[in-house]
């Protein structure tokens, strides 16, 4: 196997991949598919993802973030390997070896691989070694959380923007933590991934930054799983509530009014504007 950094350097320096213009998302391609498993509920795996997993001989999955029920339902007969605790030097030869031996390999990421997925470095290393790869999207945790909350992340009169973000910590420098700015913008729904263990510290920073302590904060633990739990609070209260609940991982933190549907307005879409947009082309969905 080539050095992963060499593969990343080569991939970033290369010309644009011609497959970008030849293929569309969802189209079956040659190689190892990097499939978004969705947030947990096996029913939220895409049809393409399900078919690929059902046909797989080897499924390399994201450990506890992928529901074991999904693996039991769709690929009980396949060899299943968790990627947790394995580095690129172990994962890439494992997948490349199986693919080159003629086995059908699927790499299953939680949610959508494009959101905090670290799929690309695996794909580039495989491609550098001559193994083609491609992506099959999935439902990211924020979308499952929003459905559980029976709301929208963008909501007319409340939130015009959505930020997918993470808090500072071991792998993110404080200067790259932008939660304070997103919340300060006012009409952004801020969706914090990878931050369950740090909710209290994150809220303390927001309070120190002068944000309204009454700003709604909603935490969705295990969205779409049978043990899904929703804890509501504010910047001032959510830290204690989460500590009492004992959650340290696997939750999405949503800051903003959209999670509560508070104060939203009728959109133009189903009003007089609807007739005009039919002619204009683009409209809200």
Ligand X SMILES: C[S@@+](CC[C@H](N)C(=O)[O-])C[C@H]1O[C@@H](n2cnc3c(N)ncnc32)[C@H](O)[C@@H]1O
Query: What does the block give as tokens for 115?
Result: 């959101």
Of residues 250, 264, 268, 273, which one binds ligand X by CB under 6 A? 250
Regarding 82 and contact with ligand X (CB under 6 A), the answer is no
Q: Which residue's beta carbon is nearest to the bound ligand X?
A: 111
Q: What are phi and psi of 12, to 5 degrees?
A: -75, -25
CB of 236 to ligand X, least distance (A): 22
Regarding 42 and contact with ligand X (CB under 6 A), the answer is no
| Residue given tokens 């302590």 in the structure block | 213
Binding-residue total with ligand X (CB under 6 A):
26
Regarding 251 and contact with ligand X (CB under 6 A), the answer is yes
Regarding 256 and contact with ligand X (CB under 6 A), the answer is no
Regarding 116 and contact with ligand X (CB under 6 A), the answer is yes
Segment interacting with ligand X (CB under 6 A) among 7-15, 204-212, 218-226, 235-243: 218-226
**Could you give the 3-state DSSP secondary structure of residue 136?**
strand
How buried is residue 278: exposed, middle or buried, by Cβ count under 10 Å (0-12/13-18/19+)? exposed
Lay out the site mask for ligand X across 83-112 (x = CB under 6 A, - = otherwise).
--------------------------xxxx
Q: Name the residue nearer to ligand X (CB basis): 91 or 144.
A: 144
**CB pairs under 8 A, 24+ apart, for 84-88?**
88/4, 88/121, 88/122, 88/125
Alpha helices (H) along 170-227: 179-185, 199-208
Q: Name the residue nearer to ligand X (CB basis): 98 or 217.
A: 217
Q: What are phi and psi of 239, to 5 degrees?
A: -55, -50
Of residues 149, 151, 163, 138, the one with CA closest to residue 219:
149
Regarding 49 and contact with ligand X (CB under 6 A), the answer is no
CB of 205 to ligand X, least distance (A): 18
Regarding 40 and contact with ligand X (CB under 6 A), the answer is yes
Give the list of residues 6+ apart from residue 95 with CB closer than 8 angstroms, or none: 32, 58, 60, 105, 107, 122, 126, 131
Regarding 137 and contact with ligand X (CB under 6 A), the answer is no
Regarding 223 and contact with ligand X (CB under 6 A), the answer is yes
Q: Name the residue nearer to ligand X (CB basis): 7 or 220.
A: 220
Segment interacting with ligand X (CB under 6 A) among 25-33, 94-102, 249-257, 272-280: 249-257
**Could you give the 3-state DSSP secondary structure of residue 135?**
strand
Lay out the site mask for ligand X across 174-213 (x = CB under 6 A, - = otherwise).
-------------------xx-x-----------------
Regarding 249 and contact with ligand X (CB under 6 A), the answer is yes
Q: Are 141 and 149 in contact (CB under 8 A)?
A: no
d(C-alpha 1, C-alpha 126), whole Å: 8
Query: What does the block give as tokens for 82?
Result: 């968790």
Chain residues binding ligand X by CB under 6 A are 39-40, 65, 109-112, 115-117, 140-141, 144-145, 193-194, 196, 220, 222-225, 249-252
């Amino acid at each position: 196997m080539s050095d992963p950094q060499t593969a990343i350097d080569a991939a970033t320096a290369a010309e644009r991949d011609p497959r970008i213009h030849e293929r569309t998302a969802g189209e079956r391609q040659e190689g190892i598919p990097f499939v978004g498993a969705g947030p947990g509920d096996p029913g939220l795996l895409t049809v393409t993802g399900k078919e690929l997993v059902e046909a797989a001989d080897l499924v390399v999955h994201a450990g506890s973030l992928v529901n074991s029920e999904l693996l039991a339902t769709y690929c009980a007969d396949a060899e299943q390997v968790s990627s947790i605790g394995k580095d690129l030097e172990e994962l890439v030869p494992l997948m490349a070896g199986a693919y080159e031996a003629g086995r059908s390999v699927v790499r299953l990421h939680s949610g959508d691989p494009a959101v905090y997925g670290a799929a690309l470095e695996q794909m580039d290393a495989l491609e550098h070694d001559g193994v083609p790869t491609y992506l099959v999207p999935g439902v990211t945790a924020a979308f499952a959380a929003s459905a559980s909350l029976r709301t929208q992340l963008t909501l007319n009169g409340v939130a015009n923007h959505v930020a997918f973000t993470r808090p500072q910590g071991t792998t993110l420098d404080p200067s790259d933590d932008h939660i304070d700015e997103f919340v300060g913008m006012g009409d952004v729904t801020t969706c914090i991934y990878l931050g369950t263990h740090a909710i209290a510290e994150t809220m303390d920073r927001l309070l120190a930054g002068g944000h309204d302590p009454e700003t709604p904060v909603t935490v969705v633990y295990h969205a779409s799983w049978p043990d899904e739990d929703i804890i509501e609070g504010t910047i001032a209260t959510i830290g204690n509530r989460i500590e009492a609940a004992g959650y340290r991982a696997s939750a999405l933190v949503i800051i903003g009014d959209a999670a509560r549907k508070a104060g939203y307005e009728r959109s133009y879409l189903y009003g007089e504007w609807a007739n005009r947009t039919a002619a204009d082309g683009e409209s809200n969905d």
